[in-house]
Each structure stands twice: as structure tokens, then as C-alpha cells.
Amino acid sequence: MFTLTEDEVAINETARDFADEFLAPNAVEWDQNKHFPVDVLRKAAGLGMGGIYVDEEVGGSGLTRVDAARIFEQLATGDPSIAAYISIHNMVNWMIDTYGTDEQRRQWIPGLCSMDQLGSYCLTEPGAGSDAAALSTKAVRDGDDYILNGVKQFISGAGTSDVYVVMVRTGDAGPKGISAIIVPKDSAGLSFGANEKKMGWNAQPTRQVIFEDVRVPAANVLGDEGGGFRIAMNGLNGGRLNIAACSIGGAQSALDKAVSYLLERKAFGSRLLDQQALQFRLADMKTELEAARTMLWRAADALQNNAPDKVELCAMAKRFATDTGFQVANDALQLLGGYGYLAEYGVEKIVRDLRVHQILEGTNEIMRVVVARSLTAT
């Protein structure tokens, strides 16, 4: 797993070249103008990044979770916000591939793989975030359809995405009363809130998704009725790994920028990089990122092989990598002095983007809840 094959090196390089050519040069401008570059997403899809771990038979790339972790790290060196959106899109695509019927897979997946259609994942609500099993968006059966009412909060890609995988209540309170259903954008009664003004992740929209008597065919239910929470959580295991990878990639890029700056910057008669205090700081940053990467690959391997401890390993990797990534990026900002605080150097943007990785796809407190529960599970 730790010694890359020629193919794995080539996959990494493809993702890195893409990030260098199409993401990094535009990242600061997209952040400032809140531009969601759908054309660039489609270019990434042309390289197989719309369905990285989706079955090849329906147009996916058929790669592993470890491959995906490496790809998202490389993409995030160019722009963590765009890499993270692609990761959410992949989660949605994988959920349909894994839990969908053949008919559903053939209907939705090819368009998601080419990113001609974009996907959004709708779990959080205004009144239910960490306590996701308390969600209240309702879907009531009416003949061959379900009628949906409720509001989803903080939905990445909302308003632009074409395909919404929505967790809804079809039964009693609690996780077993939840189903997952595919809602197309053009459904009557579906609308979107304003694009939220955010600290980071400005290159992708975040909106409410509002359901007012939205009629969706029962044929769009993913998996079994009542099985939606399990589907949502299994999607998130991989999502958490990918977000962890985005933190590592963003932080690696901030670290690289700090090294370049300290090599050039002269003070007290020599390069700042000659200060041993700063060298030690850089050495620690590199070491901590490598520890996070190692842990991430280990968790990705566990998920790939359906290991019994995959859930807590994914939670540990998400918590550790997103905390480490934020800390390293913030340290890099400090090492650039006043220039680190200026938008044009691109480091403050990375810090702002990485901050939210400690909150979404399960807060880092919830990751600790998951790990703590595993300590006493029988």
C-alpha cells in the first residue's frame, strides 16, 4: 500500500497535473468571485474523476478507496474547495452505484460520471445536523409516488446540481424510519435558498434545498424503504476519507508555499530558512502531515476491504487529518508573516477552506463520539 506501483504513480501525476494546470492558477479568483467552475469539473470528469470508485460497467473508473484518497489529496493542492465538491459528487455517485437497482444505475450514473449532471447529498436540516437520525423532511406515499415536504440545510452544490440524494422520513422516529430517494432538479415544488455567505469554500455554492409537495416516483427510492440512514452513513465513511485527503492536499500546498517563501526571504543577514527554529517548525509540519496521510491510507484500505473496524478508522482519519491539515495550513500562514494574510499569496484561502473540514461530513466532536463508542462496542 505504501510503495506505489507505476499505475498508481501515473494516477497521482494525472491528478496533480490537472490541479497544477486548471485549479491552482484560478483558485484565488474563484474564491473572490464565488465562481463554481462547472466547465473545469467536466474536464476532471474527462479524466475519470466523476466516478472514481464507481463500477466501470456503468462508466466509472473502478479504482480503490486508497486511489481516491491520493487523487483528492492531489486535486486539493490546487483548490481544496473544488476537490471537496468533486468528493461529495463521487459520494453521491457511489451511493447510487452501490444501492441502486440496475435501472437506477443506468439512468443516473453515466451522466454523473461525465459530470454533465452534478450530484448533491442532502442529509442535514435546520433542526438536525449532528443528530442526523432526528431529521424530519417527510416523504408520504401516494400511489406510485412519494410527496416530499421539508428543508435541507447547507447543501453543497445545491441550485447547480441536477441530482439530489435526499434522506427523508418515511416511517417512525429514529434511524430506521429514514429512506434515501433520488430527486431530480426539475421536480415541481423543489426550490433553493440563497447562496450562503461563507468563511471559505467560496468556489462552490451552499444553499438550502426546499421541498414543497415535491412528487417523486417511488421508483427513485434507493435501496429499501427504511434503509436510508445506513446508506447515508456508508456514503459518509468514504466521504470522511475524501475530506481528510482534501485537508492533507491543501495543507501540503500551504507548506510548500511556506518553504518557497522562507528560501527567498532575507532577514538578519541570511535566508529565513537558515533559522533553525523555522526549520524545526517545517520539519514538524511535514511529519504531522505524513502521519495523517499514513493514517488516511490505512483507513481507506480498511474501507476498501470492508474491515470490521472501518467505521472508527474512517472517523479517526477524518478527525486527525482535518485537525492536522488546519493546523499546518495556519502555521504556514504564520511563516509567511504579513504576506500570509494577503489574499494574493493563496495561503489564507487555504486556511479558510480547511477550517470547515473540521465541521462538515460529521463534526470532529462526532468523530470522537464514533471512536468512543467503538471502545465499548461488543
357 contacts 247 by C-beta, under 8 angstroms: yes
Residue number of the CB closest to ligand FAD reads 129
Establish if 369 lies at the interface with ligand FAD (CB under 6 A).
Answer: yes
Q: 98 or 195, CB closer to ligand FAD?
A: 195
Among 229, 297, 320, 326, binds ligand 2MC (CB under 6 A): 229
Q: 126 or 337, CB closer to ligand FAD?
A: 126
- Across 226-292, the runs of DSSP E, i.e. the strands, are 266-267, 270-271
Q: How far is the CB of 69 from ligand FAD (least distance, A)?
A: 19
Residue 245 zone, left/alpha/beta (φ > 0; ψ -120 to 50; rest): alpha
Tell me which stretch binds ligand 2MC (CB under 6 A): 63-71, 116-124, 159-167, 214-222. 116-124
Q: How far is the CB of 140 from ligand 2MC (least distance, A)?
A: 23
Tell me which stretch binds ligand 2MC (CB under 6 A): 47-55, 182-190, 227-235, 296-304. 227-235
Establish if 163 lies at the interface with ligand 2MC (CB under 6 A).
Answer: no
- Backbone phi, then psi, for 168, in 5-degree steps? -130, 160
**Which whole-number Å values give the CA distances from 282 to 88, 267, 351, in the listed order?**
31, 18, 17
Helix axes 347-355, 80-99, angle to 10 degrees: 40
Helix (H) / strand (E) containing 314: helix 310-335
Which of the residues 121 through 140 are near ligand 2MC (CB under 6 A)? 121, 123-124, 130, 132-133
Q: Alpha-carbon torsion 70, 75, 77, 83, what sign? A: negative
361 as an active site residue: the answer is yes
Q: Which of 93, 135, 114, 100 is nearest to 46 (CA)?
A: 114
Q: Quick one: how far is CA 321 from the chain centroid? A: 13
Interface contacts to ligand FAD, rule CB under 6 A: 88, 121-124, 129-130, 154-156, 198, 201, 206, 356, 359-360, 362-363, 365-366, 369
Looking at the annotation, which residues are catalytic?
Answer: 361
Interface contacts to ligand 2MC, rule CB under 6 A: 88, 121, 123-124, 130, 132-133, 156, 175, 229-230, 233-234, 236-237, 239, 311, 360-362, 366, 369-370
